[in-house]
Amino acid sequence: MAPFKSESQRRKFYAMAERGEISKGKVAEYERETKKGLPEKVKSDENRAAAKAKAVKFKKKKEMIEHGQSK
């Protein structure tokens, strides 16, 4: 079984177990596999890609301004 990836995911699984959507045994299994020191949230690949694209766009704009060009 895979461990939790974040504290946010851990809270979600416990809430799902309380609602009866997954078994409490499955949550306990995940808990045993999980190491301490989880991040609050894990960024998705889409969020990382969007952040990188935004950074590249900003860098290009900054370079244009520094070289006296404006768009």
Question: pLDDT, tens digit, for every residue of 19-62?
Answer: 999 999 999 999 988 888 888 887 777 777 777 888 888 888 88
For residue 8, give Cα distances in angstroms to 13, 38, 53.
9, 9, 26
User: What confidence score (pLDDT) does residue 27 get?
Assistant: 93
The answer to whether residues 1 and 30 touch, using CB atoms and an 8 Å cutoff, is yes
Half-sphere CA count of 62, side-chain side, radius 13 A: 6
User: What confidence score (pLDDT) does residue 1 get?
Assistant: 65
Q: pTM for the whole thing?
A: 0.57
The answer to whether residues 8 and 40 touch, using CB atoms and an 8 Å cutoff, is yes
